[in-house]
């Protein structure tokens, strides 16, 4: 595991984007695992800029997203499909058919989970998986639990996760109660994992994830078993690292 700490979030965003851009330049048909939430927004802006400056093309890139809310239409402003369109896909030359997000509107959820796992297999191994970190240690929407799922599955969101995501909605009632998430097995299968963590509120959970026991109660702690994890944090998360 390699840990890099940055003095500010802007610098961190640029480096996170540079990791993915370097991969795509070296391997134009790379498979990227993508995340949503506030964490990747700055990195996606840098990727859009690089495309607009003509220094990269995504025309052969394939993407798979980690998760989606159950019950939000694809054009709902807070659906993760809509987030990806607005933040990234609409501004680069990626082919729409090469972008994959679970369908949270599927009537048969079990079938949708199976379909998404088939989609994941068809793309081949994810070259780089971008991950944010939930306040409770979740990655994707793999919430702390007595057991974790290997494959794509439906998740009941924990009250603290719904509260944390309330900021994107008008009220807590509007925050979906369920989501579909890529399983831990699929996440850990990626060749490289880029874990990006910002803000003092995440310091304690990042410490537990990186240095605590490996436990299903902190899903991100399973990353300790992955051979190639790059962790990017800002000073608020790792003040010791920034202050020597």
Q: Which of 113, 141, 176, 232 binds ligand GLP (CB under 6 A)?
A: 141
Site string for ligand GLP, 155-174 (x = CB under 6 A): ------x---x---------
Asked if 129 touches ligand GLP (CB under 6 A), the answer is: no
Compute the distance between CA of residue 156 and CA of residue 106 in angstroms, rounded to an integer. 16
Instruction: Indicate which residue of 136, 145, 178, 226 is catalytic.
Output: 136
User: Which residue's Cβ lies closest to ligand GLP?
Assistant: 132
Residue 183 touching ligand GLP (CB under 6 A): no
Q: Which of 150, 152, 146, 125 is nearest to 68 (CA)?
A: 152
Closer CB to ligand GLP, 60 or 162, in the complex: 162
- Site for ligand GLP (CB under 6 A): which residue of 37, 102, 137, 219? 37
Query: Cβ distance 74 to 105 under 8 Å?
Result: yes
- Residue 42 touches ligand GLP, criterion: CB under 6 A: no
Give residue for tokens 């961190």.
Answer: 12
Interaction residues for ligand GLP, span 67-96 (CB under 6 A): 67
Residue in 46, 100, 138, 153 annotated catalytic: 138
Residue pair 221/131 in contact by the 8 Å Cβ criterion: no
Nearer to ligand GLP, 56 or 116 (CB): 116
Q: For ligand GLP, which residue of 36, 99, 103, 233 counts as binding (CB under 6 A)?
A: 36
Let me know if 211 is a catalytic residue. Answer: no
Dump strand ranges (E) for 70-185.
99-100, 128-131, 153-156, 178-181
Query: 117: closest CA among 154, 83, 85?
Result: 154
Distance of closest approach, residue 136 Cβ to ligand GLP, in angstroms: 9
Give catalytic status of residue 189 as yes or no.
no
Question: Is 138 noted as a catalytic residue in this protein?
Answer: yes
Integer Cα distance of 5 and 241 in angstroms: 6
Told to judge if 145 belongs to the known catalytic residues of this protein, a careful annotator would answer: no
Long-range contacts, stretch 209-218, CB < 8 angstroms, 24+ apart:
209/133, 209/137, 210/1, 210/3, 216/144, 216/145, 216/146, 216/147, 216/148, 217/137, 217/144, 217/145, 218/137, 218/144
Task: Show which residues are catalytic.
Answer: 67, 136, 138, 143
List of residues contacting ligand GLP (CB under 6 A) = 35-39, 66-67, 132-134, 140-141, 161, 165
């Amino acid at each position: 595991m390699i840990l890099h700490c940055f003095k500010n979030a802007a610098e961190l965003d640029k480096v996170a984007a540079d990791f993915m851009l370097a991969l795509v330049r070296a391997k134009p048909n790379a498979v990227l695992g993508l995340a949503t939430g506030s964490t990747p927004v700055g990195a996606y802006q840098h990727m859009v800029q690089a495309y607009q400056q003509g220094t990269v093309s995504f025309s052969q890139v394939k993407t798979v997203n980690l998760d989606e809310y159950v019950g939000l239409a694809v054009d709902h402003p807070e659906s993760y499909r809509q987030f990806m369109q607005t933040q990234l896909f609409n501004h680069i030359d990626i082919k729409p058919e090469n972008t994959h997000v679970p369908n949270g509107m599927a009537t048969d959820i079990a079938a949708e989970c199976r379909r998404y796992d088939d989609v994941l297999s068809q793309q081949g191994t994810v070259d780089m998986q971008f991950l944010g970190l939930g306040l409770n240690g979740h990655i994707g929407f793999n919430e702390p639990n007595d057991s974790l799922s290997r494959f794509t599955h439906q998740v009941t969101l924990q009250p603290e996760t719904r509260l944390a995501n309330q900021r994107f909605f008008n009220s807590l009632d509007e925050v979906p109660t369920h989501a579909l998430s890529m399983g831990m097995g699929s996440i850990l299968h990626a060749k490289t994992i880029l874990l990006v963590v910002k803000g003092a509120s995440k310091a304690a959970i990042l410490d537990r994830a990186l240095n605590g026991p490996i436990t299903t109660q902190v899903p991100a702690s399973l990353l300790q078993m992955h051979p190639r994890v790059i962790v990017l944090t800002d000073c608020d998360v790792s003040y010791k690292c920034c202050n020597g």
